[in-house]
């Protein structure tokens, strides 16, 4: 059931983002990013590997859908890494179990904002490494800050309900039982 929630929410977010949000004429460039909000909600309630897969799939879908203005794989790379790190941090530091697994709105909003900031900067860094002339200091500052603020605004409406749904559907019993993983060779 939790997987089903993610499988519905992620494609829905990608489609809404590309066909509705990107259609709105935002004069300041970047709009809110629903995909980040949904990926955060999924990453907070799953294993790092599944989170990385979810981030990769969502990012790749965003790369593939029009407009084709950036190279394929750029968003997939950044979102995959962000989702993995988030899930890892949650598993090893946060209360990922079922003890008090209910997160507050503020915590979720803060997490989404932090992730949006990280994704924005990561996306800019990939562009910088690939020699994208659009990445300048002023453009990065404006796009990242505006994007982060707008994404944080939609987080209580998107990430929080999805997180609650996935937390209440904790039928995936070993996700609740399995604590920090024993570190092997790593």
Question: Is the bond preceding 88 in cis, omega lying within 30 degrees of 0?
Answer: no
Closest CA relative to residue 48, chosen from 85, 5, 98, 6: 85
Contact predicate 58/79, CB 8 Å: yes
Nearest to 3 by CA among 178, 162, 179, 177: 162
Q: Quick one: 180 exposed, middle or buried, by C-beta within 10 A (0-12, 13-18, 19+)?
A: exposed
Closest CA to 144 of 159, 163, 123: 123
Residue 168 CB, nearest approach to other proteins (Å): 25
Residues with Cβ within 8 Å of 177's Cβ and at least 6 positions away in sequence, in order, are 97
Closer Cβ to other proteins, 94 or 165, answer by number: 94
Question: Residue 104 or 185: which CB sits closer to other proteins?
Answer: 185
Between 3 and 164, name the residue whose CB sits nearer to other proteins. Answer: 3
Closest CB 34 distance from other proteins, rounded Å: 9
Q: How far is the CB of 2 from other proteins (least distance, A)?
A: 18
Neighbours of 64 (CB within 10 A): 14
Nearer to other proteins, 70 or 164 (CB): 70
The DSSP secondary structure of 66-77, one letter per residue, reads SP--S-TTHHHH
Q: Which is nearer to other proteins, 105 or 125 (CB)?
A: 125
């Amino acid at each position: 059931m939790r997987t089903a929630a993610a499988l519905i929410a992620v494609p829905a977010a990608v489609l809404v983002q590309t066909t509705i949000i990107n259609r709105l004429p935002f004069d300041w460039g970047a709009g809110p990013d629903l995909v980040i909000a949904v990926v955060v909600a999924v990453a907070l309630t799953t294993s790092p590997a599944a989170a990385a897969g979810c981030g990769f799939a969502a990012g790749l879908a965003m790369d593939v859908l029009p407009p084709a203005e950036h190279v394929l794989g750029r968003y997939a790379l950044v979102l995959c890494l962000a989702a993995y790190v988030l899930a890892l941090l949650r598993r090893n530091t946060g209360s990922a179990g079922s003890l008090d697994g209910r997160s507050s709105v503020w915590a979720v909003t803060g997490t989404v904002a932090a992730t949006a900031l990280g994704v924005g900067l990561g996306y800019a860094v990939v562009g910088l490494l690939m020699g994208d002339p659009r990445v300048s200091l002023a453009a990065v500052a404006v796009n990242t800050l505006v994007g982060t603020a707008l994404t944080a605004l939609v987080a209580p409406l998107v990430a929080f309900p999805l997180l609650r749904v996935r937390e209440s559907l904790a039928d995936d019993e070993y996700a609740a039982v399995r604590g920090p993983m024993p570190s092997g060779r790593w």
